[in-house]
Amino acid sequence: MRRSRFLRGAGCLLQGTGCIPCKPSHLPPWGYLSFYQPCLHPVLQRCFRAPTWYCFENHFRPAVALYFFRTLRKDAKSIIDFPAQHLTVTDIKQYLRSKDIHFHDGYSCLHAPSIFMQPAPEGSGKENYSLFIDKTTGQFLCKETLVEGSWEDLQDCIEVMLNESQTSISPNVLLGFPESMEEQEEREMEMKEVQRIWSSSMPFSDLLDEEVQLIKTMFQIGKLTNATLKKFGVRFFKPTKCLVFPWFSGRDLCLRGVKLLSAAMKADGRVVYIEATVPKISSYHNLFGLPLIGRKDSEVVLTGREVDSMAVNQATGLPSLALPRGVSCLPPILLPYLEQFKKVTLWLGGDMRSWEASKIFSRKLGLKRCSLIRPGDIQPCPSEALAQGRNLARIVKASIPAAHKSIVSFKQLREDVYGELANVEQVAGIQWSRFPELNRPTGSGKTTFISECALDLCMQGVNTLWGSFEINNVRLAKIMLTQFAKQRVEENLDQYDVWADKFEDLPLYFMTFHGQQNIKTVLDTMQHAVYLYDISHVIIDNLQFMMGQENLSVDKFAVQDHIIGAFRKFATNSCCHVTLIIHPRKEEDDKELQTASIFGTAKASQEADNVLILQEKKLVTCPGRRSLQVSKNRFDGDVGIFPLEFNKASLTFSAPVKGKQKLRKVKVDKNISTEEIEETELKEKREKALKPAKAKTVKGSAALKDTTDGEGNNQ
């Protein structure tokens, strides 16, 4: 593959000796440099040597040459520095459309006809979409010519092609920086070493049966047949006792590198396997098994090791590829080679590191087409599964989709949330003209409070799944984003991307259900989320909305008890905390809620480990009218109540207040009923209310104390 930075063909734009060339609109200003009067930019002096290597082939007189440059990158990995702009797939599509270049969407790349090949005749239907453009970075690769480069390189090529009124451009148009003598010698030595190792290694068919058995035992591949090893081109290198895995080019099947696998014995008797690649690992981009993939293959299994790939192929007959660096990374340059597959199953190994890598790689490859195999005792890595005699085809078939149709993350909701924040008035609908106070309502009830509680845990790394059956996910995400930023985001839209980027990193997911849902469907989605995303906290808001009112002939209390029992069983079996929001019964305005106020039978409070009641004095408007009561605590029995103060700007209850609010504990005697406790508390409030009030204005935490009489009226 050809690394590139400058256009050899750019000289065609600069013909003549006294003209000022027409610069493409997307390029930065050009620097004009003379052979006789060098005026190199300070940073360019580090990389530009004598400009004799940059020749425009008789387009100029020998005395003067003209070329453009960009400044250098600050990082050591690259030489050119481009403007610090965030490239989006929309930018790429708009540019291609503006140049009348056809393309279609792939999973991780855009597919376009290669500009480095002669186009097929019009109407022939043989247009070759072999140019792949990464949707995230804009990096491109032509699979037919192996030309690759950055998004800026592709723009340069397109500009040159169009300015010359051509339909294609030579693959040699991109000119890389010249290698130093040391780099050239190193590359030549590496290729010589590759050829030496390959020519000196022996196919398994040329080895004695005793040697083959010994080698297979040493590398724990006794179940792999000689036919499979021959099919994948595996050899044995006797001088270092290594397995040799070849890297063949997918286009012309030429040998480009090798990976050596050796075995070593530790002092404690353990056998460890050591990998080495030629060329070095940063240049080793081998998808082991790629030459065996047919053009019509639509399914593939990705593994983390070469022996695993062979095990899968032998046991299932499915196409299988091994990543060059295992679970360490999935190089973006390999994504175009995986675009043809409609289904990608990731079986990267048998440990949790492999599982985490599978989830990360599936996002790169496109969640909708990926399936994952979770490691476990009955699902080890493929080579071990083959050695244990397990059914690999059944394991692959039992893989779970990486994306669930009923689960989304904030990434999918991000643009909709921004739309609501940017168009607050339109989203609000028609405004009241005679009752303007109705235009400014702010929810500050159960959903708002629980969303902040869930956000608190999620920010500490608790993987969270929201099931909002009452309000839609966009509105819920908007509330949580406001609570996360602790400010009105709609008034600071210039900071939206900053906060959204941070919020997107949280382990937060949403179920797409709304309104009445079947309990089995909800539980299946929750189970999938626990399995795939390691969810440890699920919020159901709320029980009544999920139940609906369609089956009026069925006892609704019996249905509710069944649902609560199902959630209890799920929480126990999955080791997952479930927060269930339930509406209370309608009580008198002057009475506080209690455990018996929970809608339905007593099963809800009996099954729950903790019961929290959001109390609100409806006849009071001053601060302190809301409080949170812990009425059941199965952990240590402590119960009590503490005040809440709602911050309308940030939609939070956790706004800092002067002084410390402590949980007022309530001693519970097993022989005293709940009604007697309530009467005792009410009596204490009456006695407190009869005390003469101080003339001094009370501020801070003192203002949050109860100041109501027994009838709920202010004193």
Residue 708 and residue 714: Cα distance in Å, rounded? Answer: 5
Instruction: Output 375 or 550, whichever has higher pLDDT.
Output: 375
Residue 640 and residue 115: Cα distance in Å, rounded? Answer: 72
pLDDT at 463: 94
The CATH number assigned to the domain with range 289-428 reads 3.40.1360.10
Task: Give the pLDDT confidence of 167-219 residue by residue, as tens digits.
Answer: 888 887 776 566 678 888 888 899 999 999 999 999 999 999 999 999 999 99
pLDDT at 185: 87
Axis crossing angle, helix 410-422 with helix 496-504, rounded to the nearest 10: 160
Average pLDDT taken over every residue of the chain = 79
Helices (H), 294-436: 306-316, 352-365, 382-387, 392-397, 410-422, 424-428
Residue 638, SS3?
A: coil
Helices (H), 135-225: 151-163, 181-200, 209-218
Q: Which residue in this structure is represented by tokens 């190089």?
A: 331
CB–CB of 373/301 below 8 Å?
A: no
Residue 345 and residue 155: Cα distance in Å, rounded? Answer: 35
Least confident of 69-83, 121-135, 146-160, 295-309: 69-83
Residue of 632, 623, 653, 628 whose CA lies nearest to 641: 628
pLDDT band at 249 (very low <50, low <70, confident <90, very high): confident
Residue 707, SS3?
A: coil
Residue of 308, 249, 230 whose CA lies nearest to 273: 308
Q: Does residue 162 have a pLDDT over 70?
A: yes
Enumerate the CATH 3.40.50.300 domain ranges in the chain, comma separated: 430-654
Q: Does residue 24 have a pLDDT over 60?
A: no
Enumerate the CATH 3.40.1360.10 domain ranges in the chain, comma separated: 289-428
CB–CB of 157/27 below 8 Å?
A: no
Torsion angles phi and psi, residue 9, rounded to 5: -75, -5
Q: Does residue 4 have a pLDDT over 50?
A: no
Torsion angles phi and psi, residue 590, rounded to 5: -90, 5
Residue 539 and residue 579: Cα distance in Å, rounded? Answer: 5
Residue 69 and residue 52: Cα distance in Å, rounded? Answer: 16
pLDDT at 201: 95
Average pLDDT over residues 666-682: 53
Burial label, 501 (beta-carbon count in 10 A; 0-12, 13-18, 19+)? exposed
Spell out the CATH class of 430-654: alpha beta
pLDDT at 544: 82
Report the phi/psi class of residue 317: left, alpha or beta, with left for phi > 0 and alpha for psi in -120 to 50.
left
Average pLDDT over residues 351-366: 91
Q: Does residue 359 have a pLDDT over 60?
A: yes
Chain-centroid distance of CA 494 in Å reads: 24
If one counts every other C-beta atom within 10 angstroms of the C-beta of residue 393, the result is 13
- Whole-model pTM: value is 0.67
The string of DSSP letters for 448-461 reads HHHHHHHHHHHTTT
Residue 632 and residue 609: Cα distance in Å, rounded? Answer: 7
Helices (H), 575-672: 603-607
CB–CB of 276/318 below 8 Å?
A: no
Average pLDDT over residues 391-419: 91
Instruction: Output 427 or 353, whichever has higher pLDDT.
Output: 353
Q: Which residue in this structure is represented by tokens 């302190």?
A: 624
Residue 377 and residue 393: Cα distance in Å, rounded? Answer: 17
Six-digit token string for 265: 């014995």
Chain-centroid distance of CA 609 in Å reads: 33
In degrees, rounded to 5, the angle at the alpha carbon of residue 86 between the alpha carbons of residues 81 and 91 is: 110
Contacts of 692 (CB under 8 A, 6+ apart): none
ω before 58 within 30° of 0 (cis)? no
Q: What is the percentage of the chain residues whose pLDDT exceeds 70?
A: 75
